[in-house]
Structure 1
């Protein structure tokens, strides 16, 4: 299956992030996919884009480790004009490609300074019909944010917007937990791919350019200048080998000229070369930082290596990578801490490492491109990305020739609000009717006016005043078995009367007990009180009655809010399992399978709204699911059955 894939990346210092994203893009293109890569950093001519459409945004960069101070190509702060143009080009790319999969490199784990454009990109991808799968692409090591709340913010964005995380590393060697606190709720989203390495193995050759040399490299940014200056002094002390200093394009010409002018006669100073992997394969020793791509180049070339990890500004990524791979036996990197870097220290490390024999090394998974391509294909093809159990249950219904009628109830409406507008917009987006349970004692005429012109909205009777009458220590209930039946019937009838006066035609005489709790005695009298239907929360593990004591019954089964945990979104796996149980229980009972979604527009956070959007898109895209309207469910008579208590 050919898919359309969009990858967004912005490199701010060197070109490592872009190089990794480009390798993934090339692999996807080679597999027959249509790939667009949006690059927001400085152009990098040495990074190949074979088969990939490149969208270059107005570039931004930083100086040093000031990650929040974005600069434009002219060195001035990147203002609103630049950032708005970047977002515009991103939106154009989404509209033009209509991707099946969108991949954001590093975000939401990093690149917080660019959150607005990444969130806009994710929003545009979610708005597509069918919506795109959204993945994050991260390297093997991440840097935990220092400011309070940012870790939780990253996880919330991940849960709200993303379908998965491609971790480009080897979990057996360096699991993400070594650098990032992986919360239980995000662990299921992680997919290890192995390291991204699409370069061919280059055999070492005698007598070729660079053979037997000490090759010094530092990525694409000026952050490597301290290493380069130390290398100049170290080369004067270690004169038994030729040295080659490869300077990235991010180092200004003036600094490059200074390095070349100070180099000893046995050191060649030149700009970075596209054949760097071949130079390493022929070298006697590599001296470098410990960036992701360089480390993989070293492991592939099996060359002795001294690394000086970049550690400015609390950066821990490179040192952790080098030390972890050395501890695991992948390759014996000799580490010179940046704080102790000097010409003498570097010369000593070079001399000692040259004297050591080449070890066999240990295996490491470097098949990250192929694994990533396979994972992207799975996400592109499967609409059950985050609902595997529910998907299987629906597949079983479809295989048996059945269908699932999906209906939607939203509780606690009292007045028109932005949240209500959002609810109605979501209903319109998915063309799914929504039955709004309004509280009669508090519902305003403004709410009735707002709903009067909504063809997808109907109104149900949500108790009377949503007042708790349960004794202290018991679960809340307005219509539980805690009051005389006569009082319960009186309040229920009063709720129906008030709702009828307020809402008129859109009202369905359907009783929705607050907190989804109603006494059996009242349920038996609801028809006598004027009600035609009852809706509470059905048990996932048993079927609902279709009709009882003169009432049509349609319960809800999927409530995504974690009420016992203080609000927010329930763990996705828990929602998935409950929904699957509900489908199977109703299928086992025979007859029409009705599945109800319950929302609370006034209580939902961003993650819950995004979940509802995603769930509706998934369900309505499944061939077994059909749209159901409360007006039909509660109008049609069914077989008399004993009422099944909620």
Structure 2
């Protein structure tokens, strides 16, 4: 088989080394010869049979001072130690003679050690035959504050690297949420899923649930001393509620003096121990996990299914864990307590609430539904087979096996391309516009949406929910060019009786109540989201795309100038209408990507009909990776076609625009009007 060299240096915790070791075990299990080069402090690494471990002269840091390297004794690292590290690293390369070289985090990070990583890469490039050179990164990266550093990373990748293994699931947290992903970088990315250091078989389910009710709180803080504030607060929280049992696990790298202090401070209902190998078994039976949001901790939580309170590490302006924690919270998989708000009382309250909920929660390992989901709504599983998939990707690149199936399958664009060519040949201009629904707060999904708009050059009409939107959303969108804000109902609350299709502004309540909600929605949107030079457009987007005809007729008197739903509605004098016609989400079939062939056939029919503005409707909060990929491809194709005229909402709904409904002339796969979507998620 092949020979693989993996180079890693961990500086704060041991997470980078743990992940690199898991990759090394996966390659070795597949029959490859593996050399693992570690440049951080030595750490116990189990199950390294068949793996050659090379330890460089170690370096470390204190706190989050990543540029101040220290030797094991705490003295500043001298040039001689750095030279010795580089020499040993290059010796390891020569001895291993690898066919694949994997650098953990470099060139996206470890700038303080860039010299030795660059030397390794250059020496690898000079070898004949030249080995495959790959970067290995986690799901979230620390974005540099200086643009030139991002450019330097791109230049290194272009000059020397064959690809980037991203150890995450793009459906949960794409790399673009934390690092700028342009076309050149996107072409190099290979998402592997999360790397499970416990080496569960690919596709394995979470641990089985406990025999009895969940009980107790498990507190963990990673391997380093960075978790000490959380562990201290947990012990004080335990003292506030003697009726609950707490187990506080302390990392092996935490100094013994700190460990003994914690044990001395523990109340009778709390036990303080060193980290245990049966951590997941403890989580599987616990009512609550209280932890930071490090990579490996999150994988443990996803495997065990334990309810989680995440207190992300944010010292030194760290943002990695906060982004990961808020992403899980947005999926309903955790709750977040910001580190700045950490205190005994807050922890005690969360623990008590967790015990109250424990009996009603799904069995361990079941995915918890996100807030707002319908009961039983399907959700794609999070990929946790990153180690095995990484091996498959590298083997495919080395030609050892057929290419691994892509997470984002290819699409047949020929029906749309043909329709665009016909329109261009006829000299027809087909107007298109883009609307996205359900915005309430800055999220990684919103960042991805805004990045997609910027990358493709499309103006975006963002339908925000006034009752859920706050100052954070207004501040995030304040400087976004090419963005128009629309009014997405009041609270996105379903008022339809059981059995009826969901609607907030449907014909289920008196007209006076509907009018009052619509008027409040416009006033609240203006109060919360208006900014100088970018006011909220007085355009109503009814939740679930349903509106009582009597309310539609009243909208101009309530101050609205426009209405946008899905498909055509009757005309209303004084009310401009432009609707959506293409929705890529399969709301009734798991909320993944709808049938691409049918969707592209509908888009082709829209181009052929050319009877009015065609609207693309997206939902950034629920889209999976395949849906994002199709939307990006669609936007790019349309933007490049000379037959497409891109319109922004401010133009479509400008004062004096036609009150005749802007339709796509009954676009559907068979020429029939498109069916309204009955969503299982907000829309």
Q: How would you bin the TM-score normalised by the shorter chain?
A: 0.5 to 0.7
Structure 2 residue corresponding to 1:265, chosen from 265, 268, 271: 268
Instruction: Give the number of the structure whose alpha-carbon radius of gyration is greater.
Output: 1
Paired with 1:161 and 1:225, the residues of 2 have a C-alpha distance of: 40
- Asked whether the equivalents of residues 314 and 339 of structure 2 are also in contact (C-alpha less than 8 Å), the reply is yes
In the alignment, structure 1 residue 344 sits paired with structure 2 residue 342: no
Tell me: CA distance 1:129–1:227, structure 2 relative to 1, closer, same or farther (3 Å): same
Tell me: CA distance 1:16–1:371, structure 2 relative to 1, closer, same or farther (3 Å): same
Give the structure 2 partner of residue 218 of structure 1: 221
Give the structure 1 partner of residue 399 of structure 2: 381
Give the structure 2 partner of residue 203 of structure 1: 208
Deviation at 1:123, TM superposition (A): 1.0
- Asked whether the equivalents of residues 136 and 164 of structure 2 are also in contact (C-alpha less than 8 Å), the reply is yes
- Asked whether the equivalents of residues 11 and 18 of structure 1 are also in contact (C-alpha less than 8 Å), the reply is yes
Paired with 2:263 and 2:125, the residues of 1 have a C-alpha distance of: 51
Give the structure 2 partner of residue 471 of structure 1: none
- CA displacement, residues 451-497 of structure 1 (integer Å, 9 cap, x when unaligned): xxxxxxxxxxxxxxxxxxxxxxxxxxxxxxxxxxxxxxxxxxxxxxx
- Asked whether the equivalents of residues 132 and 162 of structure 2 are also in contact (C-alpha less than 8 Å), the reply is yes
Paired with 1:337 and 1:368, the residues of 2 have a C-alpha distance of: 29
Unaligned runs of 5+ in 2: 201-205, 368-378, 404-683
Unaligned runs of 5+ in 1: 386-646
- Asked whether the equivalents of residues 19 and 47 of structure 1 are also in contact (C-alpha less than 8 Å), the reply is no
151-160 vs 233-242, greater mean Cα deviation:
233-242
Runs of 4+ aligned residues of structure 1 deviating over 6 Å after TM superposition are 382-385
Give the structure 2 partner of residue 302 of structure 1: 305
Give the structure 1 partner of residue 237 of structure 2: 234
In the alignment, structure 1 residue 181 sits paired with structure 2 residue 180: yes
Deviation at 1:353, TM superposition (A): 2.8
Deviation at 1:183, TM superposition (A): 1.8
- CA displacement, residues 399-421 of structure 1 (integer Å, 9 cap, x when unaligned): xxxxxxxxxxxxxxxxxxxxxxx
Paired with 2:241 and 2:96, the residues of 1 have a C-alpha distance of: 54
Give the structure 1 partner of residue 73 of structure 2: 74
- Asked whether the equivalents of residues 396 and 402 of structure 2 are also in contact (C-alpha less than 8 Å), the reply is no
Deviation at 1:166, TM superposition (A): 0.3
Deviation at 1:148, TM superposition (A): 4.1
SS at match of 1:185: helix
Give the structure 1 partner of residue 87 of structure 2: 88
In the alignment, structure 1 residue 43 sits paired with structure 2 residue 49: no
- Asked whether the equivalents of residues 215 and 355 of structure 2 are also in contact (C-alpha less than 8 Å), the reply is no
Deviation at 1:241, TM superposition (A): 2.7
SS at match of 2:74: coil
Structure 2 residue corresponding to 1:366, chosen from 356, 360, 384: 384
- Asked whether the equivalents of residues 174 and 325 of structure 1 are also in contact (C-alpha less than 8 Å), the reply is no
- Asked whether the equivalents of residues 211 and 283 of structure 1 are also in contact (C-alpha less than 8 Å), the reply is yes
What RMSD in Å do the two structures reach over aligned CA positions?
2.1
**1:6-21 correspondence to structure 2 within 5 Å:** 6-21=5-20
- Asked whether the equivalents of residues 292 and 312 of structure 2 are also in contact (C-alpha less than 8 Å), the reply is yes
- CA displacement, residues 48-95 of structure 1 (integer Å, 9 cap, x when unaligned): 424321111111111111000011111111111211111111111111
Deviation at 1:204, TM superposition (A): 4.5
- Asked whether the equivalents of residues 334 and 349 of structure 1 are also in contact (C-alpha less than 8 Å), the reply is no
Paired with 1:47 and 1:76, the residues of 2 have a C-alpha distance of: 29
Tell me: CA distance 1:88–1:384, structure 2 relative to 1, closer, same or farther (3 Å): farther
In the alignment, structure 1 residue 292 sits paired with structure 2 residue 291: no
SS at match of 1:381: coil
**1:132-531 correspondence to structure 2 within 5 Å:** 132-199=131-198, 200=200, 201-206=206-211, 212-329=215-332, 331=333, 333-356=334-357, 357-359=360-362, 360-361=366-367, 362=379, 363-381=381-399
- Asked whether the equivalents of residues 37 and 53 of structure 1 are also in contact (C-alpha less than 8 Å), the reply is yes
Tell me: CA distance 1:82–1:132, structure 2 relative to 1, closer, same or farther (3 Å): same
SS at match of 2:67: coil
SS at match of 1:149: helix
Paired with 1:181 and 1:158, the residues of 2 have a C-alpha distance of: 14
Give the structure 1 partner of residue 125 of structure 2: 126
Deviation at 1:214, TM superposition (A): 1.2
Tell me: CA distance 1:128–1:215, structure 2 relative to 1, closer, same or farther (3 Å): same
Deviation at 1:380, TM superposition (A): 2.4
- Asked whether the equivalents of residues 306 and 353 of structure 1 are also in contact (C-alpha less than 8 Å), the reply is no
Tell me: CA distance 1:46–1:217, structure 2 relative to 1, closer, same or farther (3 Å): farther
TM-score when scaled to structure 1? 0.57
TM-score when scaled to structure 2? 0.54
Deviation at 1:336, TM superposition (A): 0.5
Deviation at 1:312, TM superposition (A): 1.1
Paired with 1:134 and 1:122, the residues of 2 have a C-alpha distance of: 7
Paired with 2:285 and 2:42, the residues of 1 have a C-alpha distance of: 29
Tell me: CA distance 1:211–1:38, structure 2 relative to 1, closer, same or farther (3 Å): farther
Tell me: CA distance 1:277–1:41, structure 2 relative to 1, closer, same or farther (3 Å): same
Paired with 1:204 and 1:72, the residues of 2 have a C-alpha distance of: 45
Give the structure 2 partner of residue 515 of structure 1: none
SS at match of 1:138: strand
Paired with 1:225 and 1:47, the residues of 2 have a C-alpha distance of: 25
- Asked whether the equivalents of residues 101 and 379 of structure 1 are also in contact (C-alpha less than 8 Å), the reply is no
Deviation at 1:147, TM superposition (A): 3.0
